[in-house]
Chains A and B, each alone.
Chain A
Amino acid sequence: MNHKVIVGIILSFFFSFAQASVIDNMLQQYTAEGGKNFSAARGEQMWKTDYPDRDKPGAVRNCSTCHGDDLKIPGKHAKTGKTIDPFSVKVNSERFTDPKFIEKWFKRNCKWVLNRVCTSQEKGDFLMYLRNQ
């Protein structure tokens, strides 16, 4: 086994702990804000729900509009075409390691897809779903 593999394994351990603790901390925060019994199934349901596309009448948008259907491969920004790193924590160890980053993107993307802010309950459900993808 060469050095790169060893370093990789150590790093991925580190990141998985970091992710676990960051997600757990955020779930605690969402609980404190009134969320409870977070459910991966509800999160998945939300992920797949279509909302009207406000720029193109008649069309719909959802999370996959930018993140794609396969979370293990990169997505594509709907407007600019910029590549978006894969969502899956299994291939992108940097996902869910920065609470500020997570919050910022909840704000932006809930507004873009749902045209409103997400509730703490919804955000908790989302994280429950995405942490295992």
Chain B
Amino acid sequence: MERPAHHSRVLVWDLPTRVFHWCLLISFSAAWLTAENDRFLYHHVFAGYSFFGLLIFRLLWGMIGTYYARFRSFSYDWPSVTAYLKGLITGQASRHLGHNPAGSWAIFAMLAMGLLISITGLLVLGGEEGHGPLKSIVSFEVGNVSKELHESLASLMLLVVALHLIGVIVESFIHKENLIWAMLSGNKPAGLANISVRTYPLIAVLMLALLSGAALVYFYGYITQTEEQPFLAFKHDSLPTNTTWSSECGDCHLAFHPTLLPARSWRRILDEQTDHFGDDLFLETEVLEEIRDFLIQNAAESGLTEAGHKINASVPKNTTPIRISETVYWKKKHEDIAERYWQSKKVGSKANCNACHLDASEGWFEDSNMKLPKL
């Protein structure tokens, strides 16, 4: 820490704090923009991990960082906030070199909400999608509830971000200084307490190197993928398989993974093997039994995949669909697919899952592994 006696500008925001601020903005925006479309789940998760990592850095930096970045330097009580807000109205709000009282509360609110968003995000990822550090700990139901929380918190976060922005603009006008520029350059005109902080460029470079390195490793598959071997996002353990099932069912059509229909549906399909959508399968008893056991053991009820889970939940208990495309969940997920795709030669049939789902034969049906063919 140095005290520049004659300098008119002081360094308020060290480089790591600035890198944190703008990277957090980018990762939150990226997460927001990739949230709506399931196909970008893999990207959304990366944005989320970066967001979480940055927040953890900020928590540390708030304790061991430079003066204005430390939580102690901007922990104001509520009366200070109301006094400051009243001052804004009367035009007598005092200028703060670091965060002002109202701004500081917004910072703490965003930090707290950011952490909650990260944690609920990990719960959704673990529970619903079966990925991430919490995958074997969190149930599907907890994941499902967390999703609602995750979304509401993110909207709330956006609201606080808006307040933060309004605050920045208002204060920039009142004190006639460009606070956005200050977060870029780090400098502010010297005030009463003109403490100038150190830059810490190495830490900032390390942060950027870590983020870009992680991005490269995470997305490397998309760089090296080919038309014949597209990258499959979210590698995970193989689902159960059975050679009799894959050869007998796979002879005529994609061997639909057992997780895609409830057990009662598979029973019905095999019981009706003499009229299998118009054809007689002529399966021998022992072959039929082996396939039946495999299908029932790994049916939708097993909860092995997100798709299976949701299909099963969408099928009324008193119905026994024999087509996956008859289930409510399937219909809902495919309602936006234009008719021309179904009619195209590349798809042709609703049973041709692997025309769009790159991992259909594996049975995963990951959101990120869906790609409409070019027509």
- A pairs with B: yes
Interface segment, A11-19, A26-34, A104-112? A104-112
**Is the CB–CB distance between B352 and A80 below 8 Å?**
yes
**Is the CB–CB distance between B253 and A80 below 8 Å?**
yes
Q: How far apart are A67's CB and chain B's nearest CB, in angstroms? A: 13
Given contacts A77-B253, A80-B252, A82-B253, A108 and B279 within 8 Å (CB-CB): yes
Please report which residues of chain A, range 93-118, place their CB below 8 angstroms from some CB of chain B when the two chains form the complex: 100, 104, 107-108, 111-112
| A81 contacts partner chain B, Cβ-Cβ < 8 Å | yes
**Is the CB–CB distance between A112 and B252 below 8 Å?**
no
**Is the CB–CB distance between B279 and A112 below 8 Å?**
yes
The listed residue (A55, A77, A100, A107) touching B252 by CB distance below 8 A is: A77
Q: Is the interface of B mostly helix, strand, loop or mixed?
A: loop
Q: Which chain A residue shows the least CB distance to B352? A: A81
Given contacts A80-B349, A81-B349, A108 and B281 within 8 Å (CB-CB): yes
Interface residues on B, range: 10 to 19
Q: How far apart are B291's CB and chain A's nearest CB, in angstroms? A: 14
For B280, the chain A residues whose CB sits under 8 A away are 107-108, 111
**Is the CB–CB distance between A104 and B282 below 8 Å?**
yes
| B278 contacts partner chain A, Cβ-Cβ < 8 Å | yes
Q: How far apart are A75's CB and chain B's nearest CB, in angstroms? A: 12
| B115 contacts partner chain A, Cβ-Cβ < 8 Å | no
For A55, the chain B residues whose CB sits under 8 A away are 278
| B33 contacts partner chain A, Cβ-Cβ < 8 Å | no
In the complex, per-residue mask of A57-82: 1 if CB is within 8 Å of any chain B CB, else 0? 00000000000000000000101111
For B201, the chain A residues whose CB sits under 8 A away are none
**Is the CB–CB distance between B349 and A107 below 8 Å?**
no
Q: How far apart are B274's CB and chain A's nearest CB, in angstroms? A: 10
Q: How far apart are B304's CB and chain A's nearest CB, in angstroms? A: 24
For A107, the chain B residues whose CB sits under 8 A away are 280, 282
| B351 contacts partner chain A, Cβ-Cβ < 8 Å | yes
**Is the CB–CB distance between A82 and B254 below 8 Å?**
yes
- Max chain A C-beta neighbours (<10 A), residue from B251, B277, B283: B251
For B284, the chain A residues whose CB sits under 8 A away are 100
For A80, the chain B residues whose CB sits under 8 A away are 252-254, 349, 351-352
For A104, the chain B residues whose CB sits under 8 A away are 282-283
| B303 contacts partner chain A, Cβ-Cβ < 8 Å | no
In the complex, per-residue mask of B265-304: 1 if CB is within 8 Å of any chain A CB, else 0? 0000000000001111111100000000000000000000
Q: How far apart are A10's CB and chain B's nearest CB, in angstroms? A: 25
| B133 contacts partner chain A, Cβ-Cβ < 8 Å | no
| B348 contacts partner chain A, Cβ-Cβ < 8 Å | yes
Q: Which chain A residue shows the least CB distance to B253? A: A80
Query: What CA separation (Å) do A81 and B346 show in the bound complex?
Result: 10
Given contacts A80-B252, A82-B252, A82-B254, A108 and B282 within 8 Å (CB-CB): yes
Given A79-B277, A112-B279, 7 additional A-B pairs, CB 8 A: A80-B254, A80-B349, A80-B352, A81-B348, A82-B253, A82-B254, A107-B282
